Structure 1
């Protein structure tokens, strides 16, 4: 007589053993999508990407943006990307790791970019986010600020704002009792 339950138990134990032995499984939808995004990524020379965990670990990486025009020209601004398992349905988590005097980036590195929040859609890609970040350095938005002091300075005295930014980038400086270290490219 065949004991059906013992056969099923053995099959289940074998599957668990195979899973625990590190045998490769299927990639998640997010991992497949990030592979596609990375394959299609075409960065300009002023933007670089690095993978601290190795090039096969695509769910965590860094982007460096070096604006070559605008108020932030000459600076190098680093961003850490963490891709959630629910990607592309969930937006990437992005943090600016360079302390910068910017209306849309607070002192903790949080970024006010609509496509990282309420306007995220699964059709957007990592490329969309990178170009959105680049645009923040070309055209800061004082109407939706995270750093209200920087936004007010940008509106009230744009010339002084640009001087502060350039001084911070090239030499490091204190602005409103906060130190902004040099971040030249």
Structure 2
């Protein structure tokens, strides 16, 4: 519980050190909740977070490097943007690369139910990250954003696997070029 308040305590120390003359930034409820969620993350060896701006914990990237399944050997980067209404609003998650996946469209939008209609404030960032990891272990053809990839997965699993490997290598599938994501 002490970790939650560390940002607030640091803020108070900074204010005291400056004699209270500096204009201070308020720590918002969203920042406190994100700090708590981040401190409880269990990422394992296949995932890592990066904070482009160390002072902004509401915007970060998550890199997923699956070590099994059809996407093994890839490195997939997602941007997370969390608004001030978190946890009442889900984080906005986007894939920064163009990849061949039934649940991720060509613009990087992610189809994960807990990022939309099934989001509840009791869910945390760990639940989102576990859901993202699961999309690479078991792509879901029944709720697609990329309908062509979903159709391939439903009707020809081996063809889908070949197309995914081609796309991960930076190749083209059905005339659409993809970003190279192989490590």
Please indicate, yes or no, whether the TM-score normalized by the shorter chain is above 0.5.
yes
Match among 172, 178, 181 for residue 179 of structure 2: 181
For the pair 1:79 / 2:78, whether they are aligned, the reply is yes
What residue ranges of structure 1 are gaps of 5+ in the alignment?
1-20
What residue ranges of structure 2 are gaps of 5+ in the alignment?
1-20
Q: What SS does structure 2 have at the residue aligned with 1:159?
A: helix
Q: What SS does structure 2 have at the residue aligned with 1:34?
A: helix
The alpha carbon displacement at 1:176 in A equals 1.3
**Quick one: distance in 2 between partners of 1:63 and 1:93?**
12
For the pair 1:27 / 2:22, whether they are aligned, the reply is no
Q: 2:46 maps to which residue?
A: 46
**Quick one: distance in 2 between partners of 1:22 and 1:49?**
32
Count residues with an aligned counterpart. Answer: 163
TM (norm. structure 1) is: 0.85
**Quick one: distance in 2 between partners of 1:66 and 1:23?**
42
TM (norm. structure 2) is: 0.86
Q: 1:17 maps to which residue?
A: none
The alpha carbon displacement at 1:164 in A equals 1.0
Aligned CA-pair RMSD:
1.2
The alpha carbon displacement at 1:26 in A equals 3.2
**Quick one: distance in 2 between partners of 1:22 and 1:157?**
63
The alpha carbon displacement at 1:161 in A equals 0.6
| 1:8-52 C-alpha deviation (Å, 9 max, x unpaired) | xxxxxxxxxxxxx85224321111100111111121111011000
**Quick one: distance in 1 between partners of 2:26 and 2:107?**
36
**Quick one: distance in 1 between partners of 2:155 and 2:22?**
59
Q: What SS does structure 2 have at the residue aligned with 1:153?
A: helix
> In structure 2, do the counterparts of structure 1 residues 33 and 159 end up closer, same or farther at CA, with 3 Å as the change threshold?
same
| Higher radius of gyration, 1 or 2 | 1
**Quick one: distance in 2 between partners of 1:178 and 1:140?**
20
For the pair 1:69 / 2:68, whether they are aligned, the reply is yes
Deviates more, 1:171-180 or 1:108-117: 171-180
The alpha carbon displacement at 1:79 in A equals 0.1
**Quick one: distance in 2 between partners of 1:88 and 1:32?**
10
Q: 2:122 maps to which residue?
A: 123
Q: 1:150 maps to which residue?
A: 149
